Structure 1
């Protein structure tokens, strides 16, 4: 694996943006340890049902707040009280804002330094999301709405955690420009159109093509509209007999390591999906997971591509990489990178844009 510095992306190790940290069902009143952005954290739900994420280690003596099953704090179900979490070692209690609000054995005032870093979370579309900014700023763009989640006639996704991948996210984002891999890896045929559009924090790919199995002989090409909203959330809408809305989320764990999730919403004929509808949606979801696994295998078995050897017919890797840099640099420079790429770019070598220029 390679590091952010080796890709020369910018001065920050991890990118600014919205990121997934868990599925909703993973976060309960039993605290769980996670690791993101090179640090350890604890996720838990308070009595209200709201999810929280705080620094993992108690400032008192460095105890991990989640990784314990034998302390009487845990056995007596005092680990989470109200919206607060107790340390299993000495019982110090911390509120969701990270401030210590109780030291049960000490009559002295609570030290001001007795606090944990805490994160703002949003629960949406069956997932838990957080905003990360190495500069500590508020979000400068919105978390996607995921409009089709819960909408009539759509089967909601069952988001799957695909595990950690020892690959820098740059390699994943490169797929937005990678026209040439779609045939050899994914089975695309008779490509009609491949284009990219850059607009601020959004990077979009439009693909119209047949497919070796999903579209028969290619007489009925499919159109996929795929876009990143920021550096860590990809969505893709496919138009067909059963329209689908895909989610791929990847979040940095350490420099050069990401955790990846996959989900698929499927449009079915009935406003209230039947069991038959759900079975069809499950089949589409598995097919999508299998297709994404084709990329996953490539990324997991390649060396870092610091300098792509581009040839005619490749997509605009250079533009994708410039677009991506905006998230690794101070936000005051974002417009600089956006200004270098904003606009639409069509890659030749398709039916709509053949190698020979039209007269």
Structure 2
């Protein structure tokens, strides 16, 4: 008698967005003197740069008569409502009303904490209203400030599914060969506190001639950086990949994918740019192969796994901490855990304790 078909389970999504820093792309894109509309976390926000260049994010609907502040204009340190001209600063305070001297005491809108790091803009989200602890600060990437590296090339798209589908990739070893044509010799995950790290050693004809080493880390629920090294055309290629998302609603998210490449000594600026552009195009093409899958797959809470699939359930337990009240997160969820899979015994594998030490 044959076994019954495996039943896919998918519980209804809880209407909640992750606690943590979320990347909104290149910071300088917001310094154009205009307000920017942000449809994130199931709501409408407005971003603008004040007179000092600091980027401010506030709730976008004016509490006076409901106009969308992101369709207004920037004036000094304020965002001016397009409907009646009320002026709101980056702290959410109403600074003036053109036809009234007395500002109502309740004239305040929500203001969101932001930070800039690595030439990127981040916004903090916490459904409990807590401030970001120092332990989750976005780490600096020295290459972003170095003349030895190219500038970020960042692309943006909207994916019509829940953002968990994207985060699953940090533990999905098996898809690299199937989707990307990149066989894996060694694969490991480290989960600890607010970080999830993946170490991959494999081969990719698209991104290098020989062995490819990629060290990837999620810093919180939505900001993912990969340091990648390989060779192309006999030249060593070192790149840093940005993979970040911010939820629009429970069934869609805005995704930004970016790349910077280290310049090769001895080559001209034009030659380096040509290599960088070609490498960036190939890296983006590889990533977009995942996007095709996400666009058509279904959500599954109980994936049927086999040996070699990677620690998907352990990864989801780590990821779930960002959707709970901070007091409800189990210590075991944030405790240090290491998993490794050696696929090709003949491949060269960096010692795990050297890569994941500390």
With normalisation by structure 2, the TM-score equals: 0.86
**Distance (Å, rounded) in 1 between the aligned partners of 2:327 and 2:84:** 44
Separation in 2 of the partners of 1:273 and 1:41?
Answer: 43
In the alignment, which residue of structure 2 is the partner of 1:159?
A: 154
Q: Does 1:97 align with 2:100?
A: no
* Alignment pair present for 1:321 and 2:316: yes
| Deviation of 1:338 (Å) | 2.7
CA distance in 1, matches of 2:276, 2:173: 27
| Structure 1: segments with no counterpart, 5+ residues | 69-78, 354-359
The one-character-per-residue Cα deviations of 1:140-169 (angstroms, maximum 9, x if unpaired) are: 3111312210224111212221x2111111
The offset of 1:258, in angstroms, is 0.7
Pick from 12, 22, 26 the counterpart of residue 23 of structure 1.
26
Write the deviation string for residues 2-40 of structure 1: whole angstroms up to 9, x where unpaired.
xx9636xxx761011110124224312111211110010
Q: Are 1:64 and 2:68 counterparts?
A: yes
Aligned-residue CA RMSD in angstroms? 2.1
Give TM-score, length-normalised by structure 1. Answer: 0.86
- SS of 2:67's equivalent in the other structure is coil
- State which of 1, 6, 18 in structure 1 corresponds to 2:12: 6
Aligned match of 1:309: 304
User: Residues 20 and 205 of structure 1: is their aligned pair in 2 closer, same or farther, counting only changes over 3 Å?
Assistant: same
Distance in 2 separating the partners of 1:19 and 1:85: 23
**Could you tell me how far 1:48 is from its partner in structure 2?**
2.1
TM superposition outliers: structure 1 runs of 4+ over 4 Å: none
Distance 1:12 1:215, change over 3 A: same
CA distances 1:79-114 after superposition (whole Å, capped 9, x unpaired): 32221111111111111110111112113x311211
Determine the structure 1 residue equivalent to 2:355: none
Offset, 1:333: 3.2
CA distance in structure 2 between the aligned counterparts of 1:272 and 1:24, rounded to whole angstroms: 30
Counterpart among 102, 105, 115 of residue 108 in structure 2: 115
The one of 33, 38, 44 equivalent to 2:42 is: 38
Mapped partners of 2:82, 2:142: distance in 1: 41
Aligned mate of 1:51, from 12, 35, 55: 55
Q: Structure 1 residue 267 and structure 2 residue 267: aligned?
A: no
- Tell me the residue number matched to 1:246: 241
Q: For 1:144 and 1:251, how far apart are their aligned partners in 2?
A: 19
Post-superposition CA distance 1:185-236 (Å, at most 9, x none): 11112x32111111111111111112244444xxx32111111111101111
Secondary structure in structure 2 of the residue aligned to 1:285? helix
Question: For 2:215, which of 190, 207, 225 is the aligned residue?
Answer: 225
CA contact (8 A) 1:155 1:273 kept: no
> 2: CA distance between counterparts of 1:147 and 1:271?
22
Matched residues in 2 for 1:55 and 1:96: separation?
Answer: 10
* Corresponding residue of 2:185: 192
Q: In the alignment, which of 117, 136, 140 is matched to residue 145 of structure 1?
A: 140
Q: Residues of 1 paired with 2:85 and 2:246: CA distance?
A: 32
Correspondence for 2:350: none
- Call closer, same or farther: CA 1:313–1:93 in 2, change over 3 Å: same
Structure 2 match to 1:286: 281
Residue 123 (structure 2) aligned to one of 115, 130, 136: 130
Aligned-pair CA distance for 1:351: 2.4
